[in-house]
Amino acid sequence: MRLLFVTDTHLRGVAPRNRTDDFVATLKAKLGEVAALAAEHRVFAVLHGGDLFDVPVPGLGVVGEFASILRQIEAPLFIVPGNHDLHGQNPETLMRTLLGFLGRWGVVRLLDKSPVYLDDGNVRVQLTGAPYHFAIDDGGGDYIVKKQNCDVAIHVCHGALLDRSFGPMVKYTLIDDIAARTQADYTLCGHYHLGYQDVCRDGRWFLNPGALVRLSASPGELSRWPAVVLIRLEGTGARHETIRLKSARPGDEVLDRGAIEDAAFRARKRQEFLQTVRQIAEPSAFTRSDPEAILSRVLAGMKERPEFAAVQAEVMKLWAEVREEAGKGCVSSV
Ligand SMILES: [Mn+2]
């Protein structure tokens, strides 16, 4: 049995900023290549890691642009809903989205934690999914499955399951924190567009080949090549290969370098600014419980900077809103 995994296709009718090619034509070519690979390898099913379209309810014109290509995929398409498939990233809205509609129509099969079994008489596969929701990376429980009544268990996820730490600013789950707890032979993940090198822990694989499309012009997107994964199952054995898409172009041919340099410049400026703020607000300042005193102290240290007036106005506006929300000045600590 062969299965094809593809993720984050973000089908859309307009080009994102920073793309220099005919983006819709590129999307069609890539989707066409996925359909051709599915046919060439006679896959039993195509597995999709979520974010099929870029918005939850695209216009019918956009849907129609891709419908004939999606129809070329003869194998059933199993998909886990991603955040872009949902209104406000809320799973409860699924039935009001295109993906929910396609699921009910039977065009796609929606995956969740209830197992679905694929059986070709040779291999029996347990298929489960972890759809996106706000708390998917709180504790990692969604990434953990039990393997039952099958030769191979595959879990398809749309969350920030990552191979390395990303610092305190984003929520994520480390593969190493859940690897010993899940019984899935393959955990196939979308959502983190850059993907990572295949991870293997005690014979269990954790794969994210990256998004099918490069939507932003970040250095990571510039240097990577869109790919899909082909999994071959025989008895209880499994192997897989990453297939780089022939229809993709090198990043610097389709992404605007000017935008990349602008982004790098902004990131540098932001770092400089944060550095200044850190120097002004030495740790003792934050041990005080009076948030207004902390704000005043940080602002006072910035008086010489040209952006001072604008920053002060914005900070005070936000602070007033926070006080308002919290009940007319009842906030006494941050
Ligand atoms: Mn995505």
How many angstroms separate the alpha carbon of residue 126 from the centre of ligand 1? 25
For the stretch 138-154, pLDDT in tens is 999 999 999 999 999 99
* DSSP letter assigned to residue 119: E
**Residues 240 and 231 sit within 8 Å (Cβ to Cβ):** yes
**Side chain identity, residue 214:** R
- Four-CA torsion 130, 132, 136, 141, nearest 10 degrees: -10
What does the pLDDT read at residue 30?
97
Distance CA(96)–CA(87), nearest Å, equals 8
Q: What is the pLDDT along the chain (334 residues), one digit of tens a residue?
A: 999 999 999 999 999 888 888 999 999 999 999 999 999 999 999 999 999 999 999 999 999 999 999 999 999 999 999 999 999 999 999 999 999 999 999 999 999 999 999 999 999 999 999 999 999 999 999 999 999 999 999 999 999 999 999 888 889 999 999 999 999 999 999 999 999 999 999 999 999 999 999 988 888 888 899 999 999 998 778 999 999 999 998 888 888 877 677 777 888 888 888 887 777 766 665 555 677 788 888 888 888 888 888 888 888 888 888 887 776 544 444 4
How far from the centroid of its chain's Cα atoms is residue 168's Cα? 18
How many angstroms separate the alpha carbon of residue 329 from the centre of ligand 1? 40
Distance CA(176)–CA(178), nearest Å, equals 6
What does the pLDDT read at residue 332?
44
What does the pLDDT read at residue 56?
97
How many angstroms separate the alpha carbon of residue 2 from the centre of ligand 1? 25
SS (H, E, C) 148-210: CCCCEEEEEEECCEECCCCCCCCCCEEHHHHCCCCCCCEEEEECCCCCEEEEEECCEEEEECC
What does the pLDDT read at residue 314?
85
How many angstroms separate the alpha carbon of residue 156 from the centre of ligand 1? 14
Taking the domains of the chain in order of start, what are their residue ranges? 2-253, 257-325
Distance CA(138)–CA(249), nearest Å, equals 37
What does the pLDDT read at residue 138?
95
**Residue 273: CB atoms within 10 Å:** 14
How far from the centroid of its chain's Cα atoms is residue 106's Cα? 25
How many angstroms separate the alpha carbon of residue 8 from the centre of ligand 1? 5
β-pair type (124-130, 116-119): antiparallel
Q: Which residues lie across from 234 on neighbouring strands?
A: 237
How many angstroms separate the alpha carbon of residue 149 from the centre of ligand 1? 32
How many angstroms separate the alpha carbon of residue 237 from the centre of ligand 1? 31
How many angstroms separate the alpha carbon of residue 10 from the centre of ligand 1? 7
How many angstroms separate the alpha carbon of residue 217 from the centre of ligand 1? 15
What does the pLDDT read at residue 288?
53
How many angstroms separate the alpha carbon of residue 193 from the centre of ligand 1? 6
Average model confidence (pLDDT) across the chain: 90
How many angstroms separate the alpha carbon of residue 194 from the centre of ligand 1? 10
What does the pLDDT read at residue 233?
96
Under CATH, to which class is 2-253 assigned?
alpha beta
How many angstroms separate the alpha carbon of residue 16 from the centre of ligand 1? 14
How many angstroms separate the alpha carbon of residue 82 from the centre of ligand 1? 7
What does the pLDDT read at residue 164?
95
**Residues 146 and 115 sit within 8 Å (Cβ to Cβ):** no
Q: Which residues lie across from 48 on neighbouring strands?
A: 6, 79
How many angstroms separate the alpha carbon of residue 261 from the centre of ligand 1? 23
